[in-house]
Amino acid sequence: MSPASRTHEVPIILNPSARNGTVLERVDPLRSALHAKGLQAEVVESTSETHAGRICAGNVSLGLDSVVQEYADSARRI
């Protein structure tokens, strides 16, 4: 999984199996909200919170200003 290559893309990092896959139901509304702000969303799948943290760090090191991380308990980190 490669980090987003342009700063106008915002990675949405999530574990697709979280909450038996129901976390995926949040992708389209989030993607729409980002699009309304002129941003493009890129879904990036993780396998654990640790893996998601590594993905975030990789994107930040490339200079991205924003990363969205979805959690199984409905929390969201931006």
In-domain check, residue 40: yes
More confident position, 43 or 65: 43
Most confidently predicted of 1-5, 15-19, 66-70: 15-19
Chain segment 40-54, per-residue pLDDT in tens: 888 899 988 888 889
d(CA 13, CA 61): 16
In-domain check, residue 21: yes
pLDDT at residue number 1: 44
CATH number of the domain that residue 56 is part of: 3.40.50.2300
In-domain check, residue 59: yes
**Residue 12 φ then ψ, to 5°:** -105, 110
Share of the chain above pLDDT 90, in %: 4
In-domain check, residue 17: yes
Helices and strands (H, E) in the chain, number of each type: 2, 4
Q: Residue 19, Cα to own-chain centre: how many angstroms?
A: 16
Instruction: Indicate the number of domains in the chain.
Output: 1
In-domain check, residue 51: yes
Find the helix or strand (DSSP H, E) in which 28 lies: helix 27-36
pTM strictly above 0.85: no
